[in-house]
Amino acid sequence: MYVLWRVIVKEFLQLRQDKRIIPTVVLGPVVQLILFGYAANLDVATVPLLLVDQDRSAASRELVDNFVSSTYFELMGVEDAVKDVEPWLVAGRADLALVIGAGYGNAVAAGRSPQVQVIVDGSNSTAASLGLGYANGILQAESARLVATRLQAGERSLIEIVPRVWYNPDLKSRWFYVPAVLAMILMIITMVLASMGIVREKEIGTLEQLMVTPIRSWQLIVGKLSPFAVLGLIITFLVTGIAVGWFGVPLRGSLMLLILMTMLLLLNTLGLGLLVSTIANNQQQAMMGSAFVVMLPQIYLSGLIFPIDNMPEVIQYITYAIPLRYYATILRGIFLKGVGIDVLWPEALALAAFGIGFLALASLRFQKRL
């Protein structure tokens, strides 16, 4: 036990001397939180609008007003001819063009079908479907109004959908992305530090020196990894604090459970880091190996950023082999849904199994021989 303690003390002393630790632990999380908290925003997307009003009647102005006052659209410019739409869309200065043909006002007055054209830039499919949806809604409402003014009869029987959004009633994308930052930062920092920590001892030759001492493999592994686990927990508190205090993300579940589950995740990230370090010969290899082979697939296939449900079926099966996937579910379950271990136990079990597996594999590879 005393040997283990000395290894832990040594690791902390080294960590304190490491100049990289401040930028890594403070700057990285802060930049990521700002980016994901503010930039990753799909909420109220105002769509840049180009107007081609060939009618210039009171009726057409009313339709245009409906678009501009809707807060969905921002009027970027006005053109006279349809052929002038192209340059706007090509240069990306407008995503959607509303073309009101000549005779719109006359048609409305005569109760004939008035013509309107909506042109969308499909190159950004998200923006396009958003814009199309907004335009659709405004035009349908205007249609309904036009029909209603002509129709003397009373209310029609209609199906009305009453939506109730749970967990995130205002549909803030921030609530989706900010907890994800915690998972990503934990993964990146603890794994990279763990993999480089051991590889650096390989590079400077102290590992060989240690191998000739009576220290046991598990003492060395646990001693080297536990400071990073502590660091991971500090990061958890830090990021959770900012997420709740600054970004207003609710923490509806138990903080204790979050910490316990984070420890299970740390088994995975530290185990993977150790595994990388048993394979890599220098710090650069360790860095690249962690980044490309392990971290990127983990982050993109975990559902942290891109929903797993939208992936092709084959890939969906692959995601079951991604430990971060389970942590992502747990994280959102605890933060937004406020659920407990009674719901999350399958994920917790999977996370623990993967973690123990990685650590065992790494320990087997990590022998006290050269």
Partner 1 sequence: MSEETQNRRLVVEAKHLVKRFGKFTAVDDLTLSVNEGEVFGFLGSNGAGKTTAIRVFCGLLKPTSGMARVLGIDVTDDPEEIKRRIGYMSQRFSLYEELTVLQNLRFFGGVYGLRGKAYKEREKWAIEMTNLQGKEHLQTGDLPGGWKQRLALACAVMHRPKIVFLDEPTSGVDPISRRRFWRLIDEMAGEGITVFVTTHYLDEAEHCDRLALMHAGKLMALGTVSELKEVFSDRAVLEVKCPDIIAALDLMSGQDWVLETSVFGTRMHVVVRNAQEGKRLTLQLLEGSGNAPVEAREIVPSLEDVFIHHIEKEEAAK
Partner 2 sequence: MRRTWAIAIKEIKQISRDPITLLMLIGAPMLMLVLYGYALNFDVEDVALAVQDRDLSSASRELVDRLIGSNRFELVATLPPGSDIQEFLDRGDAVAVLIIPERFGQKLAAGETSEAQLLIDGVDSNTATTVLGYVNGIAAGINATRARESLRVEGNEHLLSAMINYQPRVWYNPEMVSSLFLVPGLIAFLLMFTAVLSTALSVVREKERGTLEQLRVKPLRTSHILLGKLLPYLAISLAGVVLILVAARVLFGVEVRGPYPDLFLATCLFLVGALGWGLLISTIADSQAVAFQIGVLSALLPTLLLSGFLFPIRNMPQPLQIISYILVPARYYLVILRGIIVKGSDLSPFWDQMAYMAIYTFVVLTLAAVRFKRQEG
Contacts to partner 1 from residues 197-216, by CB under 8 A: 204-206, 208-216
Assign 50 to helix, strand or coil: strand
Q: How far apart are the C-alpha atoms of 324 and 272, rounded to whole Å? A: 12
> Does 118 help bind partner 1 (rule: CB under 8 A)?
no
Q: Is 369 in the site for partner 1 (CB under 8 A)?
A: yes
Q: Quick one: 20 or 112, whose CB is closer to partner 1? A: 20
369 binds, among partner 1, partner 2, none (CB under 5 to 8 A by kind): partner 1
User: What track of x and - describes contact with partner 2 for positions 265 through 304 (by CB under 8 A)?
Assistant: ------------------xxx-xx---x---xx--xx---
Nearest-angstrom CA–CA distance, 317 and 138: 40
Q: Is 106 one of the binding residues for partner 2 (CB under 8 A)?
A: no
In the list partner 1, partner 2, none, the entry touching 135 (Cβ below 5 to 8 angstroms by class) is partner 2
Give how many residues touch partner 2 by CB under 8 A: 105
Contact between 159 and partner 1 by CB under 8 A: the answer reads no
Distance CA 80, CA 227 (A): 67
Nearest to 63 by CA among 164, 138, 163: 138
Q: Considering only the stretches 11-19, 184-192, 320-328, 332-340, report the one whose residues sit in contact with partner 1 under the rule CB under 8 A.
A: 11-19
Q: Rounded to the nearest whole angstrom, what is the least distance from the CB of residue 14 to partner 1 in the complex?
A: 6
State how far the Cα of 64 lies from the Cα of 140, in Å rounded to an integer. 14
d(CA 124, CA 216): 57
Residue 151 near partner 2 by CB under 8 A: yes
- Contacts of 72 by beta carbon, 8 Å cutoff, 6+ apart: 44, 45, 46, 47, 131, 134, 138
Task: Answer with the entry of partner 1, partner 2, none that 23 interacts with (C-beta below 5 to 8 A by kind).
Answer: partner 2
Residue 5 site contact among partner 1, partner 2, none (CB < 5 to 8 Å, cut-off depends on kind): partner 1
How many Å separate Cα 154 from the centre of its chain? 48
10 binds partner 1 (CB under 8 A): yes
Min dist CB 1 to partner 1, Å, is 10
Q: Choose among 51, 47, 77: nearest CA to 63.
A: 51
**Are the C-beta atoms of 334 and 251 separated by less than 8 Å?**
yes
Answer yes or no whether residue 333 interacts with partner 2 by CB under 8 A: yes
Question: How many CA atoms, within 13 angstroms, populate the side-chain half-sphere of residue 28?
Answer: 17
Contact by Cβ (8 Å): 47, 134: yes
C-alpha count within 13 angstroms, C-beta hemisphere, residue 195:
29
The strand pairing partners of 23, in sequence order, are none
What would the x/- binding string for partner 1 be over residues 13 to 42, using CB under 8 A?
A: xx--xx------------------------
> Does residue 364 interact with partner 1 by CB under 8 A?
no
Can residue 86 be called a binding residue for partner 1 (CB under 8 A)? no
- Cβ–Cβ < 8 Å for 235, 186: yes
- Binding positions for partner 1, rule: CB under 8 A: 2-3, 5-7, 9-10, 13-14, 17-18, 204-206, 208-216, 368-370
